[in-house]
Amino acid sequence: MDSERIWILIARKKAGEASPQELAELESLQGNTAYSSEIMDKIWDSPLHSFPEMKVGSGHWDRLEKRLDQPLIKKISSGIWWAAAACLLGIGFSWFVWIHPFDEKTDHSLTSSLNTVTTKPASKVKQQLPDGTQVWLNGNSQLTYSTADFGKTKREVVLTGEAFFDVVRNEKVPFIIHAINVNITVKGTAFNVKAYPRQKNVETSLIRGLIEITTKQDPERKIIVKPNEKIIIPEVENEKSVPVPDNSQALYSIARLQKDDHQVIAETAWMQSRLEFDNEPFEQIAPKMDSWYSVSIHFTDSAIAARRFSFVIEKESLQQTLEALKLSSPFNYQIKGSEIWISKK
Amino acid sequence: MQNNLKSVKDLKEIQRRLAMNDPAALRQLYEIFSNKLFQFAHALLRSRELAEEVVEDVFIQVWKKSQRISGLENLSFYLYTCTRNFCYNYHRKYHRNRPLNIDEVELPYYKIEASAEELMIVNDLLQQFHAALNTLPPKCRLIFKLVKEEGLKYREVAELLGISEKTVESQMGIAFKRISQSIPFRINPTRDGSRIR
């Protein structure tokens, strides 16, 4: 008991918190065990440094200074203006406009001189945009952007399908992605967007940086996505459907991205040129195949989900891969659109 | 005790100039506090981006309320409190269901500036000290840092972190015990030669 008390008193003394009574108490407790606190004194007087060094980023003051001159609208420069204005999900009206760029309601700058990159199923393309931003476009996807003023006053792209973006930082010109029913606005960051029209959700996985998404029916609610998080926003097929009630809770969900033993994140596995599995259970393989082939694999039998496989996918189609897996360990599969059901033989 | 904290007099001078809307004073305050507040915000929010935003918010607030701030006794505590509040706001906004937990703060690895030679101990001992410091529970380490480095009072740390002063006291005791025991004290030749456990 006393041995704890003495440390509390020593700490109080060093922190300048000790009362005269406490100092006296400390004296008496130390009694005949006089010790030199010389080292502790030096330690106390020596500043602490952190590793890694924790400092604000280089442009931080400039950003702050800019905000000083602005009217008192909270966070105008950093948080909200670039923050994602994702019009969301649930009520997917605006997406309809965006994926039909020639619709009259479309922003004019997008229709002026459009450049469109399209990929066939199971092919991938890497594209550099005029501002230096790198885009990896997955199979069966389309990316459209205006070449005329891209990077000058606007950086906007329209995406259907799946792409990974590594956006060049530019505070002045926010980068905006229109993906089905979601708009994502960013400063500089790397993330994956999966927005295939037939799938039920728009998924955005953030690797680094920060993006903020708002929904059209609830623009006050800002959804922030942090590194290693995935936000899943359900797509509502019928834009004329019942308005979502104000207190709707399940408009979106956030999940953490998981790395497997090989440091591969399932959501971005498709960017690699090959997929390797080394004695992994089927249920862990499935998310990466989902991402690779843009499908979703479901198991109706947990024993099959637990089976382990080792194989490599390079150019093989989904059917070829499933057939090969069947040979090593029998099961049945059914393909319904982009949904794959795997069941017992 | 407040090693790298500017003297109270300097801060008072900055406060006075802030009240006259001197932007150079804000910059000076920023130089002194931006990284400290950033580290604190980062510990609470575990996000570089959010922590940077919080620090921006704090200085914007200081600038807007410079009149009010000029009369403050303890500007340092005010800045930390402000940072804490903005962190809580962000956290509430983005993690509705998860309260901010002081036990789960995320801290970097700390090292002291003094070398083994300066402390007159061998390198191994310095490493033992660093190991002891950095294996303290995060809450304990944060309290130690705030008291030692920022010169905050126990009462202030308690208020800042929403814990009792007793907790601050006992955590400081734990920190001192563990750190001290990592470096054997030089025992003065005493009658019975016993040492503090």
Q: What is the DSSP letter of B151?
A: -
* Weakest mean pLDDT among A62-66, A201-205, B174-178: A201-205
Beta carbons within 8 Å of B57's beta carbon, 6+ residues apart: A75, B86
User: Under an 8 A CB cutoff, do A61 and B27 touch?
Assistant: yes
C-alpha span between A42 and A32 (Å, rounded): 23
Q: What is the mean pLDDT of residues A293-314?
A: 86
Using CA atoms, how far apart are residues A245 and B108, in angstroms rounded to an integer? 44
Alpha helical stretches, state H, chain A: 2-14, 20-30, 38-45, 60-68, 93-98, 108-112, 282-293, 302-306, 318-328
pLDDT value of residue A267: 79
Q: What's the CA gap between A194 and A201, in Å, rounded?
A: 8
Segment A255-284 shows an average pLDDT of 77
B96 — contact with chain A (CB < 8 Å)? no
Residue A101 has pLDDT above 50, yes or no: no
- For the CA atoms of B100, B40, A15, B136, the dihedral, rounded to the nearest 10 degrees, stands at 70
DSSP letter for each residue of A268-290: GGGGSS-EEEEEEEHHHHHHHHH
What is the average pLDDT value for chain B, to the nearest integer? 83
Residue with tokens 């108490």: A25
Does residue A248 have a pLDDT over 80? no
Residues A151, A175 contacting (CB under 8 angstroms): no
Contacts of A257 (CB under 8 A, 6+ apart): A205, A207, A228, A229, A230, A265, A266, A267
Q: Measured between beta carbons, which residues in chain A are less than 8 angstroms from residue B180? A: 7, 10, 40
Strand partners, A213: A223
**Cis peptide leading into A52, omega within 30 of 0?**
yes
Q: Which residue matches tokens 């070829």?
A: A320
Q: What is the Cβ-side half-sphere exposure of residue A124, based on CA atoms within 13 angstroms?
A: 20
Number of H helices, E strands in chain B: 10, 1
CB contact under 8 A, B38 and A56: yes
Q: Which of A210-224, A323-337, B107-121, B122-136 has the lowest mean pLDDT?
A: A210-224
What are the helix (H) ranges across A17-169? 20-30, 38-45, 60-68, 93-98, 108-112
| Other CB atoms within 10 Å distance of the CB of residue A320 | 11
Per the DSSP assignment, residues forming a β-bridge with A267 are none
Out of B59, B145, B176, closest to residue A48 by CB: B145
Determine the pLDDT at residue B84. 93
Confidence (pTM): 0.49
Nearest CA in chain B to A75: B57
Residues of B in contact with A224 (CB under 8 A): 50, 93-94
Tokens of A74: 């909270």
| B residues 127-186 lying closer than 8 A (beta carbon) to A | 129, 145, 147-149, 153-154, 169-170, 172-177, 179-180, 183, 185-186
The ipTM is 0.83
pLDDT digits (tens, 9 = 90+) for A144-173: 887 777 877 788 888 888 888 888 887 778
User: CA A339, A340, A343: angle at the middle one, nearest 5?
Assistant: 140
